[in-house]
């Protein structure tokens, strides 16, 4: 009788993966855009969790007819028609919205759309028709950078130096408070707000972690890496996020 | 494409399959580079018993985790008081709906994947490495 051959490690992996794929492909087989959407939603939930941990109560506003949170997925939609989170603590109330375009204070024609934006409650979303936007046929929605508490961006990819540095542009262009000479005074250990944050899916190499630490000490911003691997609790044991008091209430 | 990645990506769309393949290619180019120059990390990883073919399996699993399972699981992790993504479902366009049922399915998928990885003796860090040098370092210096 022949001896049964022992499986190699490679064969064991292949067999296990074949079984896993057969059992779960229906769950994980999503289009690239859908995967990115899940990541973005994850970042939003993480941010809400930050605020809940800071003592804020969240309320879903503008729900869809079926009671679901209707996520604005593109800046071409009117934010007033989509859901947002209202966060309150005493008299302190602000909104967390998605895909709201920001009109920058640096120059009249500078606009951009971060994935998530935090603005005071009842901030007016402005609209205009610009002949250079969709031939003037579609409405252009935006808020002003002087109304922005924090703009956050989500990148489901490994971190690399150019990505990390480019977030400074968003910080400078999207937050009028950044230009104030006393902007440094905004940073406080128990601040209610997460400083503008770049959420990155991939984990960082040691050299990039040093770079992130250096950037965070030079600018009032956060770069949170390793979101794919479970860095979800922004106030967890090893978290070192930069927190701000409300930058629109400095005076 | 390694058999492992073929099985994992069989039901994914062409675009995602392409992204997975590029991710593995990029990691493997780095591995071949380290092999060519017989770097210390490569030699140490080999001495620890890792072959190039086995490293390609790790790169395939890394790609799957970084591009598919990690981002997907992201939407299921938070346990908010407000219940968003659970009692209040999130609809993102016409194709994405995150609710309790979907979250539970994805969580189970993630748990099973992690249990399988652990059973196969693969360090979770291998799924997180964003560069071949980091991967080889981890293989050369197991925890």
Whose CA is closest to A100, among A49, A152, A165, A159? Answer: A152
Please name the residues between 92 and 151 in chain A that touch chain B, using a CB distance below 8 Å.
none
8 Å CB contact between A208 and A161: yes
Residue A25 maps to a domain: no
Question: What is the arithmetic mean of pLDDT over B86-102?
Answer: 93
Q: Which two tokens stand for residue A205?
A: 């190499």
Owning domain of residue A134: 33-244
Question: What is the arithmetic mean of pLDDT over A3-29?
Answer: 93
Question: How big, in percent rounded to 5, are the helix, strand and coil portions of chain B?
Answer: 65, 5, 30
Domain ranges of chain B: 3-140
Look at residue A130 in the predicted model and tell me its pLDDT. Answer: 83
What is the number of structural domains in chain A? 1
Which residue matches tokens 């809400």? A48
Chain mean pLDDT for chain A: 92
Look at residue A205 in the predicted model and tell me its pLDDT. Answer: 85
Question: What is the per-residue pLDDT across B109-141, written as a single tens digit (0 to 9) for each?
Answer: 999 999 999 999 999 989 999 899 999 999 998
Residue A22 maps to a domain: no
Look at residue A235 in the predicted model and tell me its pLDDT. Answer: 80
Look at residue A3 in the predicted model and tell me its pLDDT. Answer: 63
The span from the CA of A108 to the CA of A123, in Å, is 19
Angle at A79 between CA A74 and CA A81, to 5 degrees: 110
**Nearest chain A residue (CA) to B100:** A68
8 Å CB contact between A58 and B84: yes
> Are residues A24 and B71, on separate chains, in Cβ contact within 8 Å?
no
Look at residue A183 in the predicted model and tell me its pLDDT. Answer: 87
Residue A69 maps to a domain: yes
- Which chain B residues touch A229 with a CB distance below 8 Å? 70, 124, 127-128
Residue A217 maps to a domain: yes
Question: What is the per-residue pLDDT across A62-86, written as a single tens digit (0 to 9) for each?
Answer: 999 999 999 999 998 999 999 999 9
Question: What is the per-residue pLDDT across A175-205, written as a single tens digit (0 to 9) for each?
Answer: 999 999 888 889 999 999 999 999 999 988 8
B70 vs A16, A37, A201: nearest CB: A201
Distance of CA A69 to the CA centre of its chain: 17
The span from the CA of A230 to the CA of B97, in Å, is 21
**Nearest chain A residue (CA) to B95:** A34
- Which chain B residues touch A99 with a CB distance below 8 Å? none
Distance (Å) from the alpha carbon of A77 to chain B's nearest alpha carbon: 11
Residue A195 maps to a domain: yes
Question: What is the per-residue pLDDT across B18-70, written as a single tens digit (0 to 9) for each?
Answer: 999 999 999 999 999 999 999 999 999 999 999 999 999 999 999 999 999 99
The span from the CA of A231 to the CA of A242, in Å, is 15
The span from the CA of B117 to the CA of B51, in Å, is 18
Q: Which two tokens stand for residue B21?
A: 């393949």
Look at residue A8 in the predicted model and tell me its pLDDT. Answer: 93
Question: What is the per-residue pLDDT across A190-248, written as a single tens digit (0 to 9) for each?
Answer: 999 999 999 999 988 889 999 999 999 999 999 999 888 876 678 877 778 999 999 99
Look at residue B19 in the predicted model and tell me its pLDDT. Answer: 95
Say whether pLDDT at A2 is over 60: no
Say whether pLDDT at B108 is over 90: yes
Question: What is the arithmetic mean of pLDDT over A163-175?
Answer: 97
> Are residues B70 and A63, on separate chains, in Cβ contact within 8 Å?
no
| Beta-bridge mates of residue A127 | A141
Look at residue A251 in the predicted model and tell me its pLDDT. Answer: 53
Q: Does A77 touch chain B (CB under 8 A)?
A: no
Q: How confident is the model at residue A36 (pLDDT cuts 50, 70, 90)?
A: very high
When scoring A69, A99, A224, A225 by the number of chain B Cβ atoms within 10 A, the one with the most, hence best to mutate, is A69
Look at residue A129 in the predicted model and tell me its pLDDT. Answer: 86
- Kindly report the CATH number assigned to the domain that includes residue A169: 3.40.91
Q: Does A202 touch chain B (CB under 8 A)?
A: yes
Phi, psi dihedrals of residue A219, rounded to the nearest 5°: -135, 150
């Amino acid at each position: 009788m022949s001896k049964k051959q022992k499986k190699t490690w490679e064969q064991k992996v292949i067999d296990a993966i074949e079984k896993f794929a057969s059992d779960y492909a229906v769950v994980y087989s999503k289009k690239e855009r859908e995967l990115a959407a899940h990541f973005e939603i994850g970042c939003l939930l993480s941010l809400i969790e930050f605020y809940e941990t800071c003592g804020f109560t969240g309320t879903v506003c503008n729900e869809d007819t079926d009671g679901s949170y209707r996520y604005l997925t593109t800046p071409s939609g009117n934010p007033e028609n989509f859901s947002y989170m209202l966060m309150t603590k005493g008299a302190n109330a602000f909104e967390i919205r998605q895909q709201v375009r920001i009109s920058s204070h640096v120059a009249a024609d500078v606009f951009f759309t971060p994935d998530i934006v935090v603005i005071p409650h009842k901030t007016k979303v402005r609209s205009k028709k610009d002949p250079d936007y969709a031939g003037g046929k579609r409405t252009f929605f935006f808020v002003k950078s002087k109304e922005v508490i924090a703009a956050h961006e989500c990148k489901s990819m490994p971190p690399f130096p150019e990505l990390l540095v480019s977030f400074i542009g968003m910080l400078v262009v999207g937050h009028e408070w950044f230009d104030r000479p006393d902007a440094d005074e905004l940073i406080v250990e128990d601040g209610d707000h997460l400083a503008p944050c770049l959420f990155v899916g991939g984990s960082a190499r040691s050299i990039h972690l040093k770079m992130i630490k250096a950037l965070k000490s030079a600018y009032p911003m956060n770069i949170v890496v390793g979101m794919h691997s479970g860095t979800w609790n922004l106030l967890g044991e090893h978290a070192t996020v930069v927190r701000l008091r409300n930058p629109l209430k400095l005076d | 494409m390694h058999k492992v990645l073929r099985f994992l990506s069989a039901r994914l769309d062409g675009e995602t399959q392409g992204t997975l393949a590029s991710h593995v290619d990029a990691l493997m180019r780095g591995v071949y580079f380290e092999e060519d120059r017989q770097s210390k990390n490569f030699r140490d990883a080999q001495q620890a018993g890792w072959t190039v073919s086995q490293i390609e399996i790790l790169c395939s699993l890394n790609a799957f985790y970084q591009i598919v399972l990690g981002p997907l699981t992201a939407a299921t992790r938070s346990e908010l008081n407000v219940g968003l993504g659970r009692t209040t479902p999130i609809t993102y366009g016409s194709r994405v709906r995150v609710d309790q049922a979907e979250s539970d399915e994805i969580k189970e998928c993630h748990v099973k994947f992690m249990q399988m990885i652990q059973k196969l003796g693969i360090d979770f860090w291998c799924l997180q490495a964003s560069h071949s040098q980091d991967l080889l370092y981890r293989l050369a210096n197991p925890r």
